[in-house]
Amino acid sequence: MATTDKDVETSGFLGWIDRRFPLTSTWKAHVSEYYAPKNFNFWYFFGSLALLVLVIQIVTGIFLVMNYKPDATLAFASVEYIMREVPWGWLIRYLHSTGASMFFVVVYLHMFRGLMYGSYRKPRELVWIFGCAIFLCLMAEAFFGYLLPWGQMSFWGAQVIVNLFSAIPFIGPDLSLWIRGDYVVSDVTLNRFFAFHVIAIPLVLIGLVVAHLVALHEVGSNNPDGIEIKAKKDEKGIPLDGIPFHPYYSVHDFMGVCVFLFIFAAIVFFAPEMGGYFLEANNFVPANALQTPNEIAPVWYFTAFYAMLRATTDPFKIVLMVIIALLGVLALLRGRGKWRFGLPVLALLIIVFMALTESKFWGVVVMGTAVVSLFFLPWLDRSPVKSIRYRPLFHKIFYGVFVFAFLVLGYLGTKPPSPAGTLIAQICALIYFAFFLGMPFWTTRGRFKQPPDRVRFKPH
């Protein structure tokens, strides 16, 4: 009897595994027979790079934990011990600290690609939501890990951020006390932050990454043209414009990994502090509860949101109240059904609440809303096309202004506060939120180009 391909595949040791665990079928479903669009470009490197950096962070974190002491009297000394006494400890520490910043670099670029090509649009809403949840987890992971070196900036940065929660009406003081575990940042805070950074958040993060990938492979990858390749298949059910992820994109991504690792290694070996943006000078000084640094600022990947927080002053709160009032009037004039009166009433209640609460609380709200707004992109963008390639010119200008405002906020967050800087940050914050609030209106306007029936591909 002739031996079929299936018999060959399920024979031997691999067959023994396949009869007990779906190894081969999983490999086929998610790698060798997962068909991706054939027109991926440079922007599609960053998803794989994010997965690579996650692995780097987990592996280096395990080795750091072997020698780190989560104790307020020993934490800083243990980091110095890792740097000076542990064989190759300095390399592991710099790989981890550089990896933290590079993680946000690739994630920000990955999200920007999704923004450009409409990767959050139907049917990928859940993929985008999982991705935004991963971004939130990364922010929490970075925040909890930032305290662990127990340097001056770690200590006082954690003190400032935790104190922000005290601005929440009614529950704020108790909430901030619960987060710290003490009335000030202390050994108790260090221990619980260590537990969150090493165990709790990584478990959630890994689960979200798996869910993100499973959801992506269920609906298929987007592409620069925004065309669904599953809509056109051959008689075998294979997308006409798709190619197997392996070996084509595994080799494609390997090239991106090589370039990334070259840049990553150059930073680790020649500029691990990156001029104070990756590792601040104050964090090489032991934490001192009696001496406040001249300037307390978060790491660069938080500075855009920190600038929004700092820009929310009493005059800016009045501006926000006026904008909410105008939105309520607009809803009253142009709304339909129950929304016509419901939204103005809601706007009035928000304005009254804002008048009764301090601007510090609304700074926290603005900062949190800036992140949460990303979750609603699939329903805010109502453009008839997905990709920016086929949108009107003014859409591209809006995207450019949005990115520029975000970068300016990130820069201002690294600088000491000043009247001019605060004003610019307030303008950029308004631009940031106007981008999202205006999406249901401006994304439907203009003359759109007709996307092609098949994906456009030019071989390199």
* pLDDT 10s digits, 72-111: 999 999 999 999 999 999 999 999 999 999 999 999 999 9
Distance CA 68, CA 435 (A): 44
Residue 233 — pLDDT band, cuts 50, 70, 90?
A: confident
Q: What is the pLDDT of residues 182-216, one digit of tens each?
A: 888 899 999 999 999 999 999 999 999 999 999 99
Nearest to 450 by CA among 391, 383, 378: 391
Task: Report whether pLDDT(435) > 90.
Answer: yes
- pLDDT reported for residue 144: 94
Class of domain 301-442: mainly alpha
Give the pLDDT score at 307: 95
Q: What is the token pair recorded at 447?
A: 């003359």
Q: What pLDDT, in 10s, does the model give residues 159-180?
A: 888 888 888 888 888 999 998 8
**Per-residue pLDDT for 8 more than 60?**
no
- Give the model's confidence band at 1: pLDDT under 50 very low, under 70 low, under 90 confident, else very high: very low
Q: Which residues are annotated as a binding site for heme b?
A: 96, 110, 197, 212
- DSSP H helices, 172-295, are 172-180, 187-195, 201-219, 250-270
CATH 1.20.810.10 residue window(s) in the chain? 24-284, 301-442
Which residue type does 448 have?
F
Sign of CA dihedral 195, 201, 202, 207: positive
At 404 the pLDDT is 97
Mean pLDDT calculated for residue range 51-55: 96
What CA–CA distance (Å, rounded) separates 389 from 134?
Answer: 27
What integer pLDDT is reported at residue 3 of this predicted model?
45
Grade residue 24 by pLDDT with cuts at 50, 70 and 90: confident
Annotated binding site for a ubiquinone: 217
Q: What is the pLDDT of residue 6?
A: 47
For the ranges 84-98, 141-155, 325-339, 389-403, the lowest mean pLDDT is seen at: 325-339
Give the integer Cα–Cα distance in Å for 377 and 399. Answer: 13
Whether omega before 247 lies within 30 degrees of 0, making that bond cis, reads yes
Mean residue pLDDT of the chain comes to 91
Q: How confident is the model at residue 5 (pLDDT cuts 50, 70, 90)?
A: very low
For residue 243, the 8-state DSSP code is E
Lowest mean pLDDT among 5-9, 248-252, 295-299, 351-355: 5-9
Distance CA 119, CA 39 (A): 15
459 pLDDT higher than 60: no
Q: Which residues are annotated as a binding site?
A: 96, 110, 197, 212, 217
pLDDT score recorded for residue 9: 56
Residue type, 339: W
- Proportion of the chain above pLDDT 70, given as a percent: 96
Q: How many other C-beta atoms can be found within 10 angstroms of the C-beta atom of residue 372? A: 12
According to the model, what pLDDT value does residue 276 have?
A: 87
Q: How far apart are CA 397 and CA 405, in angstroms?
A: 12
- For the cut 70, the answer to whether the pLDDT of residue 338 exceeds it is no
Dist CA 442 CA 422 (whole Å)? 28
The CATH number that domain 24-284 falls under is 1.20.810.10
Q: What pLDDT sits at residue 195?
A: 95
Write out the DSSP string of 344-389: HHHHHHHHHHHHHS-HHHHHHHHHHHHHHGGGGHHHH---S-SSGG
Residue 58 pLDDT greater than 90, yes or no: yes
pLDDT at 460 over 60: no
pLDDT for the residue 339: 67
Mean pLDDT for the stretch of residues 343-363: 88
* pLDDT tens sequence across 115-149: 999 999 999 999 999 999 999 999 999 999 999 99
